């Protein structure tokens, strides 16, 4: 009997070894997880990048599971096509009719596909999902539309609040992307703290390795970047507060220029007026439509990164800067201290003189620069993709 038992064990171990050697196609999937994939399948920036990165890291780190991405349509694009080429990531288009599909009719498809967990990646989940066997999670990025309603159209603000408040009440679990966002959910929606888990975001892995000198030289030449510059990245809108960086630049060494990367909105006119008023037209460079592959190089050649935003849900550009080995100056008042850590510098978003002093303090002190780069890089490891992905899978498994 003992010999027979040992033989069975050896055969089982041999079978497992054979299956693992065949790779993913030889494995049976353990868990089917569904995602609101509207942005993953259609957006090339922002929440599209966030959604694809989150699912890709899960698919790589936990390949035994199946990741079903539900979207009413898909945009033809190289990075989206590459995303769906992964064997355990599958695009799911409407089978139950497209009318109100993401809000309601998707439930029929989720049940048909035997989805065990559904993750709404941005503020909403299907209505009535709580009356099915499917466990649900919703990610809340921020409630800025309630904290700063003046930045949003009335109808948009009401729609965002209606969807996110409902999702928070009905979901089995809420993921907040920062402690500040968690506080806002508790304060503004009256949700129990026990229902909310803070899981930070990481940034794209391309920011985590230095570029070769020849690549940096090519990037500098392509975009006519100056030898010395301060960098700001983000949509040029009132909340991001670029005007403060322009005002601070007036008091910074003239050898340094300000490089701004971001989509322009109506607020750009306000910034332009301030630039003209201060006579800084020759010291500010605006870059648009930068290929994502070149962005890490632009970070890596900067001397300081500034982010004077009035309010953020988290602040991924700060993470990108820290991974790039660049000293950071950010604003107080939201969650940016969470992203930047104790060795970045912080100023009031209304204090242009304070921002100028912080920038000058860094530029004049090589030892401080070295310390901020080293300690910033050490701090930012808490946002490493593998760690964040493990925390997310732990959250799934807790359901």
Per-position DSSP letters for 343-372, written without gaps between them: TSEEE-TT-HHHHHHHHHHHHT-HHHHHHH
pLDDT at 265 over 90: yes
Query: Average pLDDT of 149-165?
Result: 95
CA distance 213 to 300: 11
3-state SS class at 51: helix
Candidates 74, 134, 64, 147; CA nearest to 335 is: 147
| pLDDT on residue 44 | 78
| pLDDT on residue 7 | 46
| pLDDT on residue 29 | 57
| pLDDT on residue 22 | 35
117: Cβ contacts below 8 Å, ≥ 6 apart:
31, 33, 34, 134, 135, 136, 137, 396, 399
Rg (CA), the chain: 24
Candidates 348, 304, 339; CA nearest to 325 is: 304
How many C-beta atoms surround the C-beta of residue 248 within 10 A?
25
CATH hierarchy code of domain 206-382:
3.40.50.2000
pTM of the model as a whole? 0.86
| pLDDT on residue 227 | 97
CA distance 337 to 329: 10
pLDDT at 16 over 60: no
pLDDT digits (tens, 9 = 90+) for 21-56: 334 433 445 899 999 999 998 887 778 888 999 999
pLDDT digits (tens, 9 = 90+) for 54-81: 999 999 999 999 999 999 999 998 889 9
CATH architecture of 26-202+384-398: 3-Layer(aba) Sandwich (3.40)
Query: Average pLDDT of 233-240?
Result: 94
CB distance 130 to 104 below 8 Å = no
Q: Do domains 26-202+384-398 and 206-382 have the same CATH topology?
A: yes
CA distance 236 to 165: 28
3-state SS class at 142: coil
Domain residue extents for the chain:
26-202+384-398, 206-382
pLDDT at 303 over 70: yes
Query: Average pLDDT of 373-382?
Result: 96
Percent of the chain with pLDDT over 90: 81
pLDDT at 144 over 90: yes
5: Cβ contacts below 8 Å, ≥ 6 apart:
none
Confidence of residue 6 (pLDDT cuts 50, 70, 90): very low
């Amino acid at each position: 009997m003992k010999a027979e038992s040992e033989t069975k064990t050896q055969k089982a171990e041999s079978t497992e070894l054979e299956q693992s050697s065949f790779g993913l196609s030889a494995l049976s999937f353990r868990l089917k997880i569904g995602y609101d994939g509207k942005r993953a399948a259609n957006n090339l920036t922002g929440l599209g990048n966030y959604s694809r990165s989150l699912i890709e890291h899960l698919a790589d780190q936990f390949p035994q599971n199946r990741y079903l991405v539900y979207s009413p349509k898909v945009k033809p694009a190289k990075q989206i096509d590459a995303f769906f080429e992964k064997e355990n990531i599958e695009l799911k288009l409407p089978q139950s009719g497209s009318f109100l599909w993401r809000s309601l009719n998707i439930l029929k498809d989720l049940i048909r596909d035997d989805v065990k967990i559904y993750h709404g990646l941005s503020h909403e989940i299907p209505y009535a999902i709580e009356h099915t066997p499917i466990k649900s999670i919703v990610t809340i990025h921020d409630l800025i539309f309630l904290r700063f309603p003046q930045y949003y159209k009335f109808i948009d603000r009401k729609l965002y609040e209606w969807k996110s408040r409902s999702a928070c009440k009905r979901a089995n679990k809420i993921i907040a992307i920062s402690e500040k966002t968690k506080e806002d959910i508790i304060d503004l929606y009256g949700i129990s703290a026990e229902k909310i888990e803070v899981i930070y975001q990481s940034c794209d892995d391309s920011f985590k390795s230095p570029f070769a000198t020849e690549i940096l030289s090519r990037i500098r030449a392509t975009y006519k970047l100056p030898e010395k510059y301060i960098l700001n990245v983000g949509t040029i809108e009132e909340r991001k507060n670029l005007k403060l960086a322009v005002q601070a630049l007036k008091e910074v060494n003239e050898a340094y220029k300000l490089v701004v990367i971001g989509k322009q909105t109506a607020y750009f006119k306000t910034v332009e007026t301030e630039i003209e008023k201060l006579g800084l037209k020759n010291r500010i460079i605006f870059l648009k439509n930068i290929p994502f592959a070149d962005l890490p190089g632009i970070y890596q050649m900067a001397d300081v990164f500034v982010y004077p935003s009035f309010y953020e849900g988290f602040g991924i550009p700060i993470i990108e800067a820290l991974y790039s080995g660049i000293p950071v100056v950010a604003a107080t008042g939201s969650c940016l201290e969470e992203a930047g850590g104790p060795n970045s510098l912080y100023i009031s978003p209304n204090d242009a003189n304070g921002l100028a002093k912080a920038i000058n303090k860094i530029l004049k002190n090589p030892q401080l620069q070295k310390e901020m780069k080293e300690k910033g890089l050490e701090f930012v490891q808490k946002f490493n993709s593998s760690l964040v992905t493990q925390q997310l899978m732990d959250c799934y498994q807790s359901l």
